[in-house]
Amino acid sequence: MANVVVIGAQWGDEGKGKITDLLSKSADVVVRYQGGVNAGHTVVVKDRTFKLHLIPSGILYPETECIIGSGTVIDPQVLIGELDQLETLGVSANNLFISQTAHVTMPYHRMLDNASEERRGTHKIGTTKRGIGPTYSDKSERMGIRILDLMEADGLRELLEWTIPYKNEILQKFYGLDPLDPHAVIEEYLGYADRLRPHVVDSSLKIYDAIQKRRNILFEGAQGTLLDLDHGTYPYVTSSNPIAGGACVGAGVGPTAIDRVIGVAKAYTTRVGEGPFPTEICGGIGEVLCDRGAEFGTTTGRQRRCGWFDAVIGRYAVRINGMDCLAITKLDVLDELEEIKVCVAYEIDGTRCHDFPSSARQFARCQPIYETLPGWKQSTEDCRTLEDLPPQALNYLKFLAELMDVPIALVSLGASRDQTIIVEDPIHGPKRALLDANGTPVQV
């Protein structure tokens, strides 16, 4: 039995959806523990593509229970749209459960998010404008609406008959926007409640029962380490804690329940939205990576900024998350390159630095120090074992593992489930596995 947390080791968009889907085959329960519809993941199964924002990708396995934990914020309209999508594709959602204490994204949250971002002007932080930040703000201010509130019509009316006029005053007086109709919003959300009611549970209790029965649990985070509210590139971050520690709070379990942490990182680096990005490549190879990697956001469709692999933020992610092993995704995107650069350190104001700086201003002054490795100039898409990979590709993976001081357990070479090399099963495998100089797995 193992309870595993899957986290993003960069700025999100690392391919966690595919890795979570792959690992869900060995999991009895998958728990989404934070974030909202600002996250998105794409899973390709044979000739079908699933784009999900709230529902864990484990939903594609009929025997796997999927739980949206209390640390998430839920937009009911989007969630119901995902349920409809799954139904259309012939996938049952009977095994989906929603935390009764998860907070709800309301129309005024989306309006405030959009208006606030526009008001920032040149100081924009790159929000998805999906209302996530304002939802978490209301949660902190203790004026949020929870799923359990949706289930009680009289209670919901009482809450919103006060909250909506309060929000309307801000929307009108500060942003010059039209007010919301409280009656219309209340009736709309009561309609959502009827659809979601069969899925609502005490999620912490359900997860605890699974732990007591020694079932395999996969805790799935959204976004990535560098977008963490406390430990990311603040203020260009999300409004929750995607790091491994956030799994305990967002799922409602103690830290002793977690057995392993697997990080997911691309074979290069991407970032969407604003903020410093030391290894960013503007034009040229950056465009090649974008085109070959189809680097456009699942949620917003925005083009992602692309750059070389950054081992400084990689080591930071290992430290912050207590990472046991790593999944490297999109290695195949590098197949056509003559040479590949890896950032091994930064130069900050003339001083070499191996550690991630906490200050955004200091981070913006970081200049990458690169080491250059030869490319392999051949396709890896059909490789299914380490031995199938070109020697240069094996050397690249080994170099990344050594720089980050963490073993590589999985290598993804495309969007489909079967385009994966499994060095070690992070759920059922041994505690650690490493690639030796020849790319052969060595158990330690």
Reported as a single tens digit per residue, the pLDDT across 95-115 is 999 999 999 999 999 999 998
Structure confidence at residue 300 as a pLDDT band (50, 70, 90)? low
DSSP character string of 334-386: GTT-SEEEEEEEEEETTEEE-S--S-HHHHHT-EEEEEEEE---S--TT--SG
Positions marked active-site: 13, 41
pLDDT for 349: 93
pLDDT for 120: 83
Entry pTM: 0.91
In tens, the pLDDT along 155-203 reads 999 999 999 999 999 999 999 999 999 999 999 999 999 999 999 999 9
Residue % of the chain over a pLDDT of 90: 76
How far lies 3's CA from each of 267, 373, 409, 412, in Å? 26, 36, 16, 22
Structure confidence at residue 273 as a pLDDT band (50, 70, 90)? confident
pLDDT for 213: 95
pLDDT for 362: 94
Which residue did the predictor score with more confidence, 398 or 437? 398
pLDDT for 111: 94
Mean pLDDT, the chain, whole residue set: 91
DSSP character string of 218-260: EEE--S-GGG-TTTSSTTSS-SS--STHHHHHHHT--GGG--E
| Sign, CA torsion 225/227/233/238 | negative
pLDDT for 298: 66
Structure confidence at residue 434 as a pLDDT band (50, 70, 90)? very low
Q: Is the pLDDT of residue 257 over 60?
A: yes
In tens, the pLDDT along 390-424 reads 999 999 999 999 999 999 999 999 888 889 999 98
Q: Is the pLDDT of residue 443 over 70?
A: no
The CA distance from 397 to 439, in Å, is: 8
Q: Is the pLDDT of residue 40 over 80?
A: no
CB-CB contact of 247 with 257 (8 Å): no
pLDDT for 376: 97
Q: Which whole number is the average pLDDT over 200-217?
A: 96
Q: Is the pLDDT of residue 35 over 80?
A: yes
Q: Which whole number is the average pLDDT over 38-47?
A: 71
The CA distance from 305 to 76, in Å, is: 30
Which range among 141-145, 361-365, 426-430 shows the weakest confidence by mean pLDDT?
A: 426-430
pLDDT for 428: 66
Q: How much helix, strand and coil, in percent to the nearest 5, is found in the chain?
A: 35, 25, 40
The CA distance from 99 to 79, in Å, is: 13
pLDDT for 258: 95
- Burial degree of 288 (CB within 10 A; 0-12, 13-18, 19+): middle
CB-CB contact of 43 with 7 (8 Å): no
Backbone angle region of 279, left / alpha / beta, with phi > 0 → left and psi within -120 to 50 → alpha:
alpha
Structure confidence at residue 299 as a pLDDT band (50, 70, 90)? low
